[in-house]
Structure 1
Amino acid sequence: MIQYTAMFGVLALILSFGLTNVNATSQAATIDPLLEEAIAEGESEFQVIISFHGEEEATATNLDLLEQLGITKGITLASLPMVATLVTEDQIEALQSDESVRSVYLNSKLEYFNEDSTDITGVNEVRTDNDMRVQNGGMPVTGDGVGVVVNDSGVDGLHQDHAFGDHLVQNVMANVNLNSLSPELLPITYVEGVPNTDTNSGHGTHVAGTVGGTGQMSGGKYEGGAPGADLIGYGSGAALFILDAIGGFDYAITHQSEYGIRVITNSWGSSGDFDPDNPVNIASKRAFDRGITVVFAAGNSGPGEDSHNPYAKAPWVISVAAGEKDGTLADFSSRGTAGVGGTFEIDGESWTWKDEPAITAPGVDIISTKTVSPLTALAADKDLELIDIGHLPYYTTMSGTSMATPHVAGIIALMLEANPLLSPSEVKELLQQSATNMPGYETWEVGAGYVNAYAAVDAAFDVTQEYGSTVNMFQTFNSEVESSTTREEFEVDYNPLTLVSMNQYSFEIEEGIGSVVAKVDGKGLLGETGNPINLVLIAPDGTEYSSGISLLFTLYWDRTVSVNAPMAGTWTAEIRGLRGAEENPIGIGLPETIEGTLAFTEVSGFTGLDDIDGHPAASAIQMGVKERLFDGFNNNKFKPDSALKQGELAQYLVMGAGIRQTLSTEENGSPFVASVLQQGAALKDKQHVQNGVMLAESEATFNPRDNVTRAELAYSLVQSLGLQDMAQEVEGDVTVQYENERVAIGDAEEIPTELKGYVQLALDLNIINANFDIEQGRFDLRPTVTATFSPNQEVTRGDFAVAMTRYFNAFFN
């Protein structure tokens, strides 16, 4: 019998769609396109996942087939018809022709989303920063000695990432059933020392792993935010009542000194209005008074306004919204309500609350510790997609503000190790002051912005540092715009072999609309591959506005077209296959039902923009000011025809391009300049390793009064998308798409060599336009299209407004 014992160190990509096959055998098994590429490159042996037809584990017949082909080592999954093994090209061809084989896929490496979570928040940077080690007595900051109560469904202390009795210092089972109590008043009792209190949910175990799991069962790969913290589990089971919830607070307060409890995380809630007399709010206020920082999930009832967890609205707690890994807000994350709040008194002290989260943290596809339960079994498909096969028994994926909240709890533990004297109010203040702006969102949606663990811990070490001066939440702006947006959904049954009219959708634009933004998703086969399509809006006069050829279609499925001040009348949205690019020379997209949305924005009023009326960029300026992508001057002017200055660009990138803040090291230096020049400036650079998003070598050489060129703007916007590696890999001529052909940029030699890749991507992503001319000689049968970029041309503030709103609509909106 074959012995399947080999374990592989990279994440398996287990999918079941197909593009092309190794040969044309009928009924052939699907072969991974990445595997085909590896074969073409001449590799001789491949780590693969072989999937058989069937519902359960691989059968004896399946294993006999492998043995006949000389495939004699690997691992079989217990409940899925899959085998991971090593094969040759000849063996792949034999497997493809066997009717029992469903697919053969490379054991490919993917992004690990829990790694992404600790990367994008800056937790990993905290652990590896030498200066922080020095400030922490030579030891990395891990939350050591900080007690964190996980007030949830329970914690599986038998999971080695929690290590009951060591890392999980106490595990408590809630033991309150009002129907079973004797008819007399009795003191509350807890069942302590229970190895596993999470036997029917898995929710609390996942939360605990995100707070501070050690990652032992994954070699540290799926480590939590504060692996040095002391965890205290308080388990209420799958059915949670208010008595259960406040029991967790009661236990935390009672045992605060015994376990050094400084944080309590609560990934649960309700609906309704805030009431300071609610027993949950009373309990959380009591914990706050004892110096325990209380963290609550904002809720999963988004994206509508007024969906905020009422327990998260208390001004003494930290409400956490859920973000995507790209720096945007998850649709399901609950929102507060604009302008809603109030003032009340408790024991003579005045408190003011606002209906808004405090901060946003990663909450989508979070990988953390798993217990055996029906809930974790529901994530089986996503687990297979995202988690290393060898780690599947120990980890699972979940999404929600429930997952975002323990991220923040772990970061708070890091802050409290750095500075044990911080009060809960100071912790909340530092978290918000160190946050990263989230373009296009209001505070009632995301609070101060995306959490920045590195800056928050740095602020905790030295509270005299002046973080917060770049956070939009704390700014006063010169210009204001009021507008309303309506949305219309549409779909196109795209087929490249049908008539053009079959791939179109018509819609009306009324007079007075300031902008229209069209967005579609080209997901490709089974929502995995991306579809090489182009979205084009056609105006009533025939003018076309394109989403661009996007060489990134496998990275970014969405196509976006923004049109400012669109003419009224009947418009057409058309789906076309990308043509003329090396990546898609045939020029045909995949048949697919393309779903999209149209957003129509109408400006109802504005102030502080007295000089834009009638300007071609007026609508873009209004939209950008509304979304806090940039601002006007304090004299009520925008100066759309004035040159954009380097200092202005630095400020606007931090405002509206998802740039992490840092402090200036120069006397009287600008935090905006320091932020754009730092390594890992862009929030979309999850690992914090890429160069800054502006070109100066240092703050000392940065001249804020210099004008910005078009090539420099291309660099800044593309770099802000975290695409440094892709830009630097671009080779060949700089070209631009014009209708169905690629046109070479005529003045490409004027583009600095190191910026050519950035200009190429800026053109392909339709962030910055090329200038087209049509030339036709007297005897030419057809005109010749020429294109220029003018890389050294100075960017006006109006030009920037157009580029920045396109950038925002395509990648943040």
Structure 2
Amino acid sequence: MLNPYLEKRLFALPVQPILVEFDPKEIAAVITQITGLSLPIMETIPAFGFAAITPISPEMIRRVNALPGVRMVHANQTKTIFQLPTSGEEWFPTSESRNMLEAEEAIKQGFTGEAVKVGVVDTGLDATHPQLQGAEWYSTISWPAREVLDENGHGSHVSSTAAGKLHHTPQGVTVEGVSRSPLVSVKCLGRGIGTGFTSEVINAMAVCYDKGARVINMSLGSEECQGGCEICPECRMVATLAQRGIIIVVAAGNSGPQEDSIGCPGCSPDALSVAAVDRNGEVAAFSSRGGDEFPLKPDVAAPGVNIYSGTSRGSVIDVQELAAGVGFASISGTSMSTPHVAGLCALLKQKDPQITTSQIKQTMATKGHSKDTITGWGIPKWSYFA
């Protein structure tokens, strides 16, 4: 079956990359048939039944779709980071922003998150940065080369916010992540500007899972959910991992204030989707909204304006704001609010290893404000889960 999204766009381009879905038990047979058509395979995700194929013609896409064992053929969409650079006129250090979620209260009670791995699916990280030393790091970038370094800086900033070590910068600013969790960084967005493909993102999620992450941060997305959440490969991957007890925290997107501007996979009913607010708790103008199409999104909100945290030294983000110091930056976006929530989820996972995304939403429905399509139930706080 062709994903309806791909079917409508089958002849939009002479060639396009695809993502083939199949029964994981049939991987050998399916791969043999694909290679029998002389089609180069970019990467495979055996445990979850996916294989990415380099750009091919509409005719070849139909031939792949007709192969025995193939469940569905999807478009291999382009995914991007969700981040907006800011001037740095005001800095909101993570040592302060984390307290909007009452992270310090959790730490005082002995819940540091150190027993819970946090996965970050992003542009990678600076493994020698003082806030990020000791983190595990991998890459699923499939071409033109297996990129490793975080040349963009987005992933390092996100990782530092979620679980960066306490650090006092030369500028006299103290930074500290929401949790003290071990980090598993998987670079799936690269090529200089922070872009990747659906296959690389799904593979990165799989790596995080394989490496033991119990919370996965996804400060990324695309404007369109191909075929709807029940068919979209990323949304279904979110659902699969959620069923296994993994909490997937996803950025709502930066396409506000328009209604129904939630990105994918933030639109997934199984994701914990995060809007952005400023230090006063006011929603950011850029934060994506729900609406008639997404009446239940976003789910929660967190600080995402002028967030000052560590970033990859010498990266694109780092050099944009020299006043912040080498390896630090103040940037805005739902990309920045999302790791705040991911860090809190790690603290909650330490307190209750069995807690699920659904249970977090149930608590927020009781403790947060009445749900709306702007900030969901509002900012999740540690005390809500006492």
Q: Secondary structure in 1 aligned to 2:174?
A: coil
Contact (CA 8 Å) 1:308, 1:355: kept in 2 or not?
no
1:268 pairs, out of 182, 198, 220, with: 220
Report the Cα distance in structure 2 between the residues aligned to 1:378 and 1:365, rounded to whole angstroms.
14
Q: CA deviation at 1:366?
A: 0.5
Q: Following the alignment from structure 1 to structure 2, what is the Cα–Cα distance between the partners of residues 115 and 235?
A: 26
Structure 2 residue 125 is matched with structure 1 residue 125: no
Map Cα deviations across residues 154-173 of structure 1 (whole Å, 9 max, x no partner): 01111121113xxx1x2102
Q: Secondary structure at the match of 1:144?
A: coil
Aligned to 2:269: 315
Q: Which amino acid aligns with 1:280?
A: E
After superposition, the Cα gap between the structure-2 partners of 1:124 and 1:255, relative to the gap in structure 1 and judged at 3 Å, is closer
Q: 1:111 to 1:220 in 2, by over 3 A?
A: closer
Letter in 2 for 1:250: A
Residue in 2 aligned with 1:413? 346
Unaligned runs of 5+ in 1: 1-109, 134-139, 181-190, 342-353, 459-813
Question: What is the count of residue pairs matched by the alignment?
Answer: 288
Cα 1:432–1:148 change in 2 (3 A) is farther
1:444 pairs with 2:377: no
Alignment of structure 1 residues 318-337 onto 2, 5 Å: 318-337=272-291
1:68-217 equivalences under 5 Å are 112-128=92-108, 133=109, 140-164=110-134, 168=135, 170-177=136-143, 197-217=148-168
Structure 2 partner of 1:776? none
1: CA distance between counterparts of 2:159 and 2:151?
A: 16
Per-residue deviation, residues 194-221 of structure 1 (Å, max 9, x unmatched): xx93432000000000000012354992
In structure 1, what residue type is equivalent to 2:303? P
Q: What corresponds to 1:374 in structure 2?
A: 316
**CA distance, structure 1, for counterparts of residue 174 and residue 302 of structure 2:** 19
Q: In the alignment, is the contact (CA less than 8 A) between 2:289 and 2:298 conserved in 1?
A: yes
Deviation at 1:396, TM superposition (A): 1.1
Q: Deviations over 1:69-112 (max 9, x none)?
A: xxxxxxxxxxxxxxxxxxxxxxxxxxxxxxxxxxxxxxxxx975
* Other-structure match for 1:359: 300
Provide the residue aligned with 2:21 in structure 1.
none
Q: What is the alpha-carbon distance in structure 2 between the residues aligned to residue 401 and residue 160 of structure 1?
A: 24
Aligned to 2:176: 223
Distance 2:113 2:183 in 1: 10
The 1:402–1:363 alpha-carbon spacing in structure 2 relative to 1, beyond 3 Å, is same
* Structure 1 residues 220 and 375: alpha-carbon distance in aligned structure 2, compared to 1, 3 A threshold: closer
Letter of the aligned partner of 2:210 in structure 1? T
Query: Could you list the per-position Cα deviations for residues 578-629 of structure 1 after superposition, in whole angstroms to 9, with x for gaps in the alignment?
Result: xxxxxxxxxxxxxxxxxxxxxxxxxxxxxxxxxxxxxxxxxxxxxxxxxxxx
Match among 228, 233, 237 for residue 283 of structure 1: 237
1:242 to 178, 186, 198: 198
Q: CA deviation at 1:443?
A: 0.8
Q: What percentage of aligned pairs have identical amino acids?
A: 29
CA distance in structure 1 between the aligned counterparts of 2:160 and 2:358, rounded to whole angstroms? 26
CA shift digits 1:260-313 (9 cap, x unpaired): x21111000111354321111121111112211111100000011111113112
2:54 corresponds in structure 1 to: none
Q: Are 1:253 and 2:205 counterparts?
A: no
Mapped to 2, the partners of 1:220 and 1:414 lie a distance apart of 24
Structure 1 residues 712-751: aligned runs within 5 Å: none
Structure 1 residue 396 and structure 2 residue 329: aligned? yes
**Could you state the TM-score of these two structures normalised by the residue count of structure 1?**
0.34
Question: Partners of 1:250 and 1:119 in 2: how far apart?
Answer: 31
Residues 394 and 245 of structure 1: CA distance in aligned 2, closer, same or farther (over 3 Å) = same
Match of residue 13 from structure 2: none
- Structure 1: distance between partners of 2:138 and 2:246: 19
Question: Which TM-score applies when normalising by structure 2?
Answer: 0.69
- How far does residue 445 in structure 1 lie from its aligned partner after superposition? 1.2
1:217 touches 1:394 (CA, 8 Å); kept in 2? Answer: no
- Correspondence for 1:788: none
Paired residue type of 2:333: G
Instruction: Give the CA RMSD over aligned residues.
Output: 2.3
CA displacement 1:710-756 (0-9 Å, x = unmatched): xxxxxxxxxxxxxxxxxxxxxxxxxxxxxxxxxxxxxxxxxxxxxxx
The residue aligned with 2:59 is: none
Q: Which has the larger radius of gyration?
A: 1
Give the corresponding residue for 1:426: 359
Aligned-partner SS, 2:175: coil
CA apart distance, 1:315: 1.1
Deviations 1:487-528 (A, max 9, x none): xxxxxxxxxxxxxxxxxxxxxxxxxxxxxxxxxxxxxxxxxx
More RCO (CA 8 Å, sep 6+): 2
Query: How big is each residue's C-alpha offset from its partner over 1:333-380, in whole Å with a ceiling of 9 and x where there is no partner?
Result: 000114x45xxxxxxxxxxxx441000100000011121212222233
